[in-house]
A and B are shown apart, each in its own frame.
Chain A
Amino acid sequence: MNLEIPKTAYNGRIKEIRLGKGDKAVTVGGETCYPFYLFEGKMPNLPRIAMEVWDTSPEDWPEAALEPFQGVTGDPVAWARKCVTDFGAEMICLQLVSTDPNGLDRGADEAAAVVKNVAEAITVPLIVWGTANHDKDTEVLRKVAEVNEGRNLILGPVEEGDYKKIGAAAIGYQHTVIASTPIDINLAKQLNILLGNLGVRDELLIIDPTVSSIGYGIEYCYSVMERVRTAALTQQDNKLQYPLICNVAKEVWKTKEAKPPADGALTLGDTRKRGILLEAMSAMVLLLGGGDVLIMRHPEAIRLVQEMITELAAPKNN
């Protein structure tokens, strides 16, 4: 008797989008099956990892996260170069932390100049991430878009409260938009519709479903991502057939579990190892939910995740 393995009936495909410019541009998306269900469909482009660079010296990073970047954390250009040359980064995500109005509140011109310097120093695609403050991001990301015209930066977060102005700048200066919604599939779809109506072309849009670390509600993120993929691949929902980007590192490394215990107690084990594993495992969960681009921090966590991707994507001999 032959056992018939049940198969999912797919009728949709994730759109392929090309991030960045030139030889080092990266293509993501194109899946015709659930993540790594290679026995049911294809993943023509495996998920990619962008290494995180901050535009200012991080003050609250645990030692474990700082150590690999010793000597460059005050200089975004040197930092980005190090990620590419020393750690083989395929993409960089520049976090514009210093523009936060509740923090250093750096101006749009200064931020745009930093972005330009970093963009000119590397050839891999550059993601630029604001502070999720609508007014400030509108100001900053518009300027960033203008100053870096034609580079196909990946700009975000673009939210319902600021999509018109940032979206228009992205269209005008040819950049990709990160459509960001707070862990809600209906709102994610709605924002994609709004961006489409605005004139953002399909191949210039990537979804940020909003993610968190293990222990901080990652199951909700996973569930929303899974439903996005179900609607996209099995219900022909073309407003959700976009790749997914997950800004996970900063969520992981700010948790108390990734930091040395406040009281010095060692009950949670080796701090360094814990932070790295927490990042790698959180990233892995998001990959299984459908993540196409992961923004990560620690080179060892990245290596672990890349190994997993390679292994999961390897052809099976059976």
Chain B
Amino acid sequence: MVLIGENINIMSRTIGAAVAARDPAPIQEMAKAEADAGMDYLDINIGPARKAGDELMAWVVNAVQQVTDKPLSLDTTSPVAMEAGLKACKARPLVNSVSLQPERLRQGLPLVKKYHASMIGLLWGTEGMPRDANERCLLAVDLIYQVNQFGISSEDIWIDPIATPVSGEINQVKACLEFMSMLKDIAPDCKSTVGLSNVSNGTPAHLRPYLNRTYLIMLMRYGLHSAIVNALDPELIRIARGKMPEIVSLVHRVMDGDMPDLSSLSQKEIEYVKTVRVLTGETLYSHSWLEI
């Protein structure tokens, strides 16, 4: 499993302030922490970057590359910033992301090709968010076709089916999973990724890791190739590295409808069981889902 660290994000208070002050130290510290935690890629999210995005992205990329040689995933909607970042990358980068919106295709694909990058293919259509697994399939087929037509091969497309918050529409959380189970059949050569932490958006901060970890296990069951994750969650990384097989098999059992006797389980196991049931929609989510 390929892990992409999400922690260099302009929305973070420390990173945002460091970027504004052009102070590389906090950014480099985070980059080192992510690399030490075992991330394979580091995502650099500078947001829409409307003003002087090109200079900004190049500056962050260079700052990060001074402390690590991990490949980077560049996350911005500004094509100018994207190109400046790609130009500065030493290792083969990942463009995060290209969607089916005509403008994103028109601006993104030439950059992917010119800089020989890989790309995240975000399943966001001209009408916005797909409503279910089938619409995700339609969007995936359409996107892969258009990207291939442009001369970019399927191995370089990392399909992102879009994870959504469990505290929102639960059917979307299920649809993302269902789509993952279908992707191998409709596009065997493509890779996949997901912005994992989205699933716990809106959940109290100290409880988010439970949802992230469990959803990762569930998605991995269907062959998820990579995930954009919180690099500072060691248990999540142990899961991704295959070091928690008992928990993984427990999660699989509950996904299959098995309801183990909670009294025979450890506290940690109980938490995983309850979280699977929330993520499959068996139990309606509330902030107290672990307590009831």
Determine if A116 is an interface residue (Cβ-Cβ < 8 Å). Answer: no
Q: Given the complex, which residues of B lie within 8 Å of A231, measured CB to CB? A: 284
Determine if B287 is an interface residue (Cβ-Cβ < 8 Å). Answer: yes
Contact A190 B282 (CB under 8 A): no
Determine if A84 is an interface residue (Cβ-Cβ < 8 Å). Answer: no
Q: What is the CA–CA distance of A151 and B272 in the complex, to the nearest angstrom?
A: 45
Q: What is the CA–CA distance of A190 and B290 in the complex, to the nearest angstrom?
A: 12
Name the one of B282, B286, B291 contacting A186, with C-beta atoms under 8 angstroms. B286
A210 to chain B, nearest CB (A): 17
Name the one of A185, A190, A240 contacting B287, with C-beta atoms under 8 angstroms. A190
Contact A237 B287 (CB under 8 A): no
Q: How large is the interface on B (under 10, 10 to 19, 20 to 34, 35 or more residues)?
A: 10 to 19
Contact A237 B284 (CB under 8 A): yes
Secondary structure type dominating chain A contacts: helix
Which among A185, A186, A194, A237 has the highest number of chain B CB atoms within 10 Å?
Answer: A186
B150 to chain A, nearest CB (A): 41
Q: Given the complex, which residues of A lie within 8 Å of B115, measured CB to CB? A: none
Chain B residues numbered 263-292 whose CB sits less than 8 Å from any CB in chain A: 282-288, 291-292
Determine if A48 is an interface residue (Cβ-Cβ < 8 Å). Answer: no
Contact B284 A193 (CB under 8 A): no
Contact B282 A193 (CB under 8 A): no
Determine if B154 is an interface residue (Cβ-Cβ < 8 Å). Answer: no
Q: Given the complex, which residues of A lie within 8 Å of B283, measured CB to CB? A: 235, 237
Contact B286 A189 (CB under 8 A): yes
Q: What is the CA–CA distance of A185 and B286 in the complex, to the nearest angstrom?
A: 9
Q: Given the complex, which residues of A lie within 8 Å of B291, measured CB to CB? A: 193
Number of A-B contacts (CB under 8 A): 27
Q: What is the CA–CA distance of A187 and B204 in the complex, to the nearest angstrom?
A: 13
Name the residue on A nearest B281 (C-beta).
Answer: A235
Q: Given the complex, which residues of B lie within 8 Å of A193, measured CB to CB? A: 286, 288, 291-292
Chain B residues numbered 29-63 whose CB sits less than 8 Å from any CB in chain A: none
Q: What is the CA–CA distance of A185 and B287 in the complex, to the nearest angstrom?
A: 12
Name the residue on A nearest B285 (C-beta).
Answer: A186
Contact B167 A186 (CB under 8 A): yes
Chain A residues numbered 151-178 whose CB sits less than 8 Å from any CB in chain B: none
Q: What is the CA–CA distance of A193 and B290 in the complex, to the nearest angstrom?
A: 12
Hey, what's the 0/1 contact readout for A57-84 against B, CB within 8 Å counting as 1? 0000000000000000000000000000
A274 to chain B, nearest CB (A): 35
Determine if A134 is an interface residue (Cβ-Cβ < 8 Å). Answer: no
Hey, what's the 0/1 contact readout for A232-257 against B, CB within 8 Å counting as 1? 00010101100000000000000000
B99 to chain A, nearest CB (A): 28
Q: What is the CA–CA distance of A186 and B283 in the complex, to the nearest angstrom?
A: 11
B292 to chain A, nearest CB (A): 6
Name the one of B167, B282, B292 contacting A239, with C-beta atoms under 8 angstroms. B292
A and B contact pairs by CB, cutoff 8 A, 18 listed: A185-B284, A186-B167, A186-B284, A186-B286, A186-B287, A187-B286, A189-B284, A190-B286, A190-B288, A193-B286, A193-B288, A193-B291, A193-B292, A194-B288, A235-B284, A237-B284, A239-B286, A239-B292
Binding site for A on B (CB under 8 A): 167, 282-288, 291-292
